[in-house]
Structure 1
Amino acid sequence: MEDERLSRPDLVVDALSRFERAFRQPGRFLNASEVWQPGLEIEDARDDLEEVLRHLPRGARADLGRLVARIDTEYERRTLPDPGWVPEWTAGRWWWGRIRER
């Protein structure tokens, strides 16, 4: 799975554009109903960015890491913690434990 996805040349551009579209939504909270398909959620895009970060050389990892940190800050600001839903497959991926609407 990870090797196949990482070989896509547009993986980072696609992930970043999903966040860009999501962050253009009006209002304080992100719309949870915008996309509800496995592989197309913005949380999936964040998974992709995390995977890419693990494989980049140090300089590129630092550059993308700064952008991802800004994305994380905005995502956290526009979502709420979901205390009732933390399956073990999300370990280390805090963005899956957030809800997009209140």
Structure 2
Amino acid sequence: MWPNAVANALSRIEWVFEQPGRYLDASAFCSPGIIDARDDLEWAMRHLPSGAKRDLGRLITRIDEELERRTLPEPNYIELATFGWWWTRMRER
């Protein structure tokens, strides 16, 4: 992982969540977008020591709740679930 990767991922997610509207629009998912940022956080979780993992885990829980609230299930993307549940979400079209 590169320096400041977690900070950059959190910054991208914060920017996306600041956008108005009930649902996230498609531009929020463009690369590098919220999906890439969430992938980066997942990777970091696997490599952090336990204390930092707990702290980041609390942030990720809140991020996941907001991501789930502002997206819809996309049944056509179910095969992408192996990458992470967030890959199976649909954004505003």
TM value normalised by structure 1: 0.84
More helix as a share of residues: 2
1:49-68 equivalences in 2 (<5 Å)? 49-68=41-60
Q: Is it true that 1:14 corresponds to 2:5 in the alignment?
A: no
Residue 83 to residue 11, structure 1, CA distance change in 2 (3 Å): same
Q: Is it true that 1:42 corresponds to 2:2 in the alignment?
A: no
| Structure 2 counterpart of 1:93, one-letter code | G
| Structure 1 counterpart of 2:48, one-letter code | L
Structure 2, unmatched stretches of 5+, are none
Aligned with residue 85 of structure 1, among 63, 77, 80? 77
| Structure 2 counterpart of 1:97, one-letter code | T
- Residue 100 of structure 1 deviates from its aligned partner by 1.6
Contact 2:24 2:91 in 1 (8 A): yes
Identity of aligned residues (%): 56
Partner residue in 1 for 2:24: 30
Contact 2:28 2:34 in 1 (8 A): no
After superposing on structure 2, the runs of 4+ consecutive aligned residues of structure 1 that deviate more than 2 Å are: 33-37
CA RMSD of aligned residues (A): 1.5
Partner of 1:30: helix, strand, or coil? coil
> How many pairs are equivalent?
93
- Residue 36 of structure 1 deviates from its aligned partner by 2.3
- Residue 35 of structure 1 deviates from its aligned partner by 5.2
- Residue 22 of structure 1 deviates from its aligned partner by 0.4
Deviation readout 1:11-47 (Å, 9 max, x if unpaired): 001100111000001010011124523xx02111101
Q: Is it true that 1:94 corresponds to 2:85 in the alignment?
A: yes
